């Protein structure tokens, strides 16, 4: 059996963190790593103890949800809160960092930003990363241990089975498909 690579492992951690996001617009996760060790993680969500976007909707001003603390910032703040240095660390993020997070990552001493998906990559953020010597590397998650679309897939399969039930004459095949779907999506 082939082991998962370090990049895939840390990116999978970020995707797992993103599943804790409370933002309805985009689920983002971030993992800060130094010397192949996870030192912090964060996801985008509201300030501790405050109302969440999933409860009352996003609070959008000028196209941005102002209620949300970004995943990268939450991970950096976790390091600050517990006195963990970020100098010479790397960060794995599910999406390319916004301009504000870019500046925070540079100021905190992050040396490499690994990201899984492009997301409104701001030209000035790219310029700042280059200017500061911060490397950026796209690392798409190709290891299937984490499926962020699990619920959507299960709902689609259920919908297809319901449609098939109306149109099929083969009850045996339909029951077999239902059993296979149940096996695939059972918790």
Instruction: Give the residue numbers marked as catalytic.
Output: 72
Cα Rg for the chain, rounded, in angstroms? 20
Tell me the C-alpha distance between 54 and 182, whole Å. Answer: 28
Kindly give the residue spans of alpha helices, DSSP state H, lying in 35-170.
53-56, 71-82, 99-107, 123-132, 150-167
Tell me the C-alpha distance between 125 and 42, whole Å. Answer: 20
* CA–centroid distance for 95 within its chain: 7
């Amino acid at each position: 059996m082939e082991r998962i690579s370090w990049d895939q492992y840390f990116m999978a951690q970020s995707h797992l963190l993103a599943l804790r996001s409370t933002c309805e617009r985009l689920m983002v996760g971030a993992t800060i790593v130094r010397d192949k060790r996870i030192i912090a993680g964060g996801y985008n969500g509201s300030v501790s103890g405050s109302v969440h976007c999933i409860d009352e909707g996003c609070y959008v001003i000028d196209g941005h949800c102002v209620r949300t603390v970004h995943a990268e910032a939450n991970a950096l703040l976790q390091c600050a809160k517990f006195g963990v240095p970020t100098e010479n660390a790397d960060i794995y993020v599910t999406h390319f960092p916004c301009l504000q997070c870019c500046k925070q990552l540079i100021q905190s001493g992050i040396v490499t930003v690994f990201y899984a998906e492009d997301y409104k990559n701001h030209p000035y953020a790219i310029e700042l990363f280059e200017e500061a010597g911060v490397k950026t590397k796209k690392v798409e998650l190709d290891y299937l241990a984490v499926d962020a679309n699990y619920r959507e897939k299960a709902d689609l399969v259920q919908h297809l089975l319901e449609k098939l039930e109306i149109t099929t004459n083969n009850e045996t095949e339909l029951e077999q498909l239902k059993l296979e779907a149940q096996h695939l999506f059972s918790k």
